Structure formats: C-alpha cells, structure tokens
Amino acid sequence: MSDFPGINIGTDLDEGVDTKPREPELYKVILLNDHYTTMDFVVDVIMTIFHKSAGEATKIMMDVHKKGQGIVGTYPLDIASTKVWQVQEKAREKDFPLECILENI
C-alpha cells in the first residue's frame, strides 16, 4: 500500500498509452550559392563541419555552385542548428557571405 493517497505505485501503465520514444524531427542543412565565397572554402567547411570526405565535399560544393544549393546533411534540430551556426561563424571569420539554412523534412 502506498504512503501517498490516490497514487498507485507499481501498477501497469494504461494499455492505450504509447511508451515508445519517438524519433526526433529531422532537418536538412543546406548551403546556398553566392558569387564571392571560394569553392575551396566551401569544400573545407563541408569537410571540417560535416565530416565529409574530399570527394563527397567536392560533389556537394559542385551542387551548390551549379544548382544554387547543396544538402550537406540531415540531423535533429539541435545538431542541425549547431552546424548552421558553425558555418556562419567560420564564414564570418573569413569575410565570406556563405549562407546555410535548415529545412524541415
């Protein structure tokens, strides 16, 4: 018997309650093209912040260059936001206008 009236300790949860954790919402992190940021800088950003290989980084950079944007990864909101911030800080340090955005999937 419980020391707390009205509280049943040790009873099973209601059968209708979903106790499985839900997957977090995912967001695409996208780099946008501009006419000033160098291709080498974009490749460096992709490799250092998003941990892509040189080949993958070059392919994504070419998407940014030719298509106007390139998806660099898909992450939960907190990680995606951090990566956007890191890109903006790195670009600001080098005086590049590189833009990075999030898009909900």
Domain boundaries of the chain, sorted by first residue: 26-67+75-104
Which neighbouring-strand residues pair with 102?
29
Q: Return all residues near 8 (Cβ < 8 A) that are at least 6 apart.
A: 2
The tens-digit pLDDT sequence of the chain (105 residues) is 556 666 666 655 556 666 788 889 999 999 999 999 999 999 999 999 999 999 999 999 999 999 999 999 999 999 999 999 999 999 999 999 999 999 999
Give phi and psi for 14, each to the nearest 5: -60, 140
Question: What would be the CATH architecture of the domain defined by 26-67+75-104?
Answer: 2-Layer Sandwich (3.30)
**pTM metric for this prediction:** 0.80
